Copies of this chain bind each other. A is one copy, B any other.
Amino acid sequence: MNPEMLKGHLDAVVLSVVEGGAHYGYAIIKEISQRSQGALNLPEGTIYPTLHRLEKAGLIVSQWEQAPSGRKRRTYTLTDLGRRTLTERCDQWNSFANVITALLTKPRAATAL
């Protein structure tokens, strides 16, 4: 799958997954891969900078946590702004998807009759 296609949509995906309960980077990658049936396998070099960008934008906040195994994890939570932004982005996605789908659907005898 052409990586260029993801551009502009990754934020929404990450926000959505964070809202859903997968809280730290490594788990978010696995979650996305799983929930997309392996269609979307994001490398770490994609997810970590994205999380930092979202945090800098005030959409999520991070907190170091101790996993049961004793490992350190940086867990993320949606802010209010993040929640609102997610809703907005979902609406934008729906509009966008409708537009593109319409454009890719051949007019087929429906044009300028």
Q: Which of A's residues lie within 8 Å of B, judged by CB?
A: 1-9, 12-13, 16-17, 19-21, 32, 35-36, 39-40, 89-90, 92-93, 95-97, 99-104, 106-107, 111
Question: Is the beta-carbon distance between A39 and B99 smaller than 8 angstroms?
Answer: yes
Query: Copy number in this complex?
Result: 2
Known A19-B106, A20-B106, A106-B19; judge A95-B39 contact (CB<8 A).
yes
With A and B bound together, what is the CA distance between A13 and B20 in angstroms? 33
| Chain A to chain B contacts (Cβ below 8 Å), 13 pairs | A1-B95, A3-B8, A4-B7, A7-B7, A7-B8, A12-B100, A13-B104, A20-B107, A36-B102, A39-B99, A40-B99, A93-B101, A97-B100
Contact residues of A: prevailing secondary structure = helix
Which partner residue on chain B sits nearest A17 by CB separation?
Answer: B103
CB distance from A113 to the nearest CB of B (A): 13
Q: How distant is A24 from chain B, measured CB to nearest CB, in Å?
A: 17
Q: A1 touching B97 by the CB < 8 A rule?
A: no
| Residue of B with least CB distance to A5 | B8
Beyond A7-B4, A8-B5, is A102–B16 a contact (Cβ under 8 Å)? no
